[in-house]
Amino acid sequence: MTVVQTNSGPVRGARDNGLAVFKGIPYAAPPVGDLRWMPPQPPEPWTETRDALEFGNIAPQEKSPLIPPALLIDQPESEDCLYLNVTTPGTDGGARPVMVWIHGGGFYIGSGSQDLYDGAGLASRGVVVVTINYRMGAFGFVRLKELTNGEIPSTGNEGILDQAAALEWVRDNIAAFGGDPGNVTIFGESAGGMSVVSLLSMPAARGLFHKAIVQSGPGHTHFSVDEALDYIAKPMLEAFGTRDPEALRAARTEEMQAAVPAFMEAAANPDPAIRNRWAKPVIDGETITGWPEPILGSGTHAGLPLMVGTTRDEMSTAALAGLGDGDLAERVRSLVPGHDANALIEAYRAARGQRLAPVDPASLYAAIDTSRMMGVPSTRLLDAHRAHGPVYHYVFDWISPAMDGASGAQHGVDIGFVFGTHDVTPDTAGMFGRGPAADALANATMDAWTAFARTGDPSTETLGAWPPYGETRATMMIGPLAGVREAPFEGERAAWDGIATSDMR
C-alpha cells in the first residue's frame, strides 16, 4: 500500500507490477441535488486516510444494443461521478511527464475506469497516467439557462468544466504522485478528442496543460447556442413535460436520461442533418469562446506541441453495402449541400483508383464521409497551428478484425494500441486484434505517445523518425507497415479546398 497526501486529504493506493495505482479519487464535489447542472465545486476535505483501491461511480450511461461489446462497462452508475484514477511509476517526487486521458463515447457513454483505458502500459514507460470521469448526456451537456430564466444556469458545457476541474486537481496534486505539473499532456479519442479541442478553446483551462493529442475528434461539429437549445434542451424539456426548475432538480436520474435525445439513435441515422444532433459542447462565447480552428490560427496556444490524427476508415459501415451510383450522388449532395457533389465523387474516384483502392459507390461514400467528419477538419487544425507550434499528423491504418475486416481501420481502432490493451479481454481482441504484430504495434504506439508527452516530439526507435507536419504534409501511417508518407490522400484532401470547415458539419 502507498499513501499520498492530496490537498483534500490522504489517499491510500495499491502497488501492482511495480506501479502505484490510485482509484476513485474525488476531484470535485458530487454534482447532485442543488449542484445538478452547476459548475463543479471543490470536494469536501477529509482527515482520515481514504482508500483509493476501487473505482468511483461512473456517470449515468445511455443504454443501447448498438454499443460495441468492447465499450460496455459493468460498474455502478451515479450522478456522483466526478472521480479520477492515477497510475504512476512512483510517488517519489520524480517530476515525470503527466498524461491525462479524456474518454470518448459521444458524451453519453464511457468512463476513465474501463479496462480499455488501463494506464499501466503507458505508465511503465515512465509517465504518470490520469484517467477521469465527467458528467455526460442530460447532466453534462444540456443548456438550460435560457429556458429556465437563469434559475438553472447551465451552459451546456458542464462536462467540459468538469474536465478543467480535473486538470486543476492535477496541477495542485500530481507532484505528490511523482508527476510534473509543468508537463501535462491532454489526450482523448472521439468525444475525448472533441473535449481536447474544447479545452483548447476554453479560457478557464489555459495553463493547465502543455501538450495536446486529438484522436478522431476535430471539434467542428460542436453546437451553436441556438442548435443546443433547438436540438437538445427543448426536446428534453418537452419529453420531461415541464420547465419548472424545482421539478427538474428533483427528477430521478433515469427520468432525465430518458428525456434527453438519444446519442446512438442519432449517430446511426443515415441523414447527416440528424446524425449530429446529440448533446455535446456548445460554442457559447463564454465558457468555450470560439471554434477551434480560428482559435489555433490566432496563436492563442503559441509554443504548444499538437498531435492530431484519425483512423483511415472512420466512417466505414457495412450498412452501405449495395449502394448504387444514383444513391451515391444523392447521399453526397446531402453531405455538402450547396457544393458540387459530383466533383467530389470524381476527385475521390480518381485519387482512390490511382492507388488501387476500391471505387465502388459504398467505398466512395464512406471515404468522402470520413474526410468530411474527421480527416480534413483534422488537417486544418494542424494547418491553423503549425505557424505557432510543432504539429504532428498520423493516420491509423490497422484493420480491425471485427466483421472479418469489413469495417477496415474503423473509428476507435487506435485506442487499444495507444494503451496496449488491444487484447486485454476477448471483446477487445475482437475489435483490435491479437498476436505478435498487434503486440509490436501497441509497443510502438505507446512509445510514440509517451515520447510526445515527454518532449513534444513523437519520434522513437520503434515507430521511427516522425517529422512535423508542414508544407510536405508529412504523415505517420501507423499500422502493419508503419512509416512516414508525404501528403497521403492528397487528392482527397485537395478536393475540399474551397469548402469551409463550417460546411462539413
Q: Which of 327, 124, 310 is nearest to 218 (CA)?
A: 310
Cell numbers found for residue 299? 496563436
Give me the catalytic one of 103, 411, 422, 492. Answer: 411
Residues listed for the chain:
505
Euclidean distance between CA atoms 440 and 479, whole angstroms = 10
**Which is catalytic among the residues 111, 190, 371, 400?**
190
Phi-psi region of 126 (alpha: psi -120 to 50; beta: other; left: phi over 0): left
Q: Report the distance separating Cα 437 and Cα 446, nearest Å.
A: 14
Buried b (16+ CB within 10 A) or exposed e, 143-175: bbbebbeeebebbbbbbbbbbbbbbbbbbebbb
| Phi and psi, residue 327, nearest 5° | -65, -40
Phi, psi of 418 (to 5 degrees): -65, -35
Place of cell 441556438: 226
Catalytic residue among 62, 189, 293, 314: 314
Residue with cell 475489435: 431
Q: Which long-range contacts (CB under 8 A, 24 or more apart) does 93-96 make?
A: 93/175, 93/178, 94/178, 94/179, 95/175, 95/178, 95/179, 95/180, 95/183, 96/126, 96/127, 96/128, 96/178, 96/179, 96/180
Q: Number of helices (H) and strands (E), helices first, in the chain?
A: 19, 15
User: Is residue 314 annotated as part of the catalytic site, yes or no?
Assistant: yes
Cell of 424: 486485454
Eight-class DSSP state of 3 = E
Using CA atoms, how far apart are residues 207 and 182, in angstroms rounded to an integer?
9
Active site residue 190: yes
Any bridge partners for residue 4, and if so which? Answer: 11
Question: Does 330 qualify as catalytic in the annotation?
Answer: no
Nearest in space to 314 (alpha carbons), one of 488, 206, 189? 189
Of the candidates 433, 407, 443, 247, which has an alpha carbon nearest to the alpha carbon of residue 315? Answer: 407
C-alpha cell at 56: 468511483
CA distance 329 to 153: 44
Q: State the catalytic residues.
A: 190, 314, 411
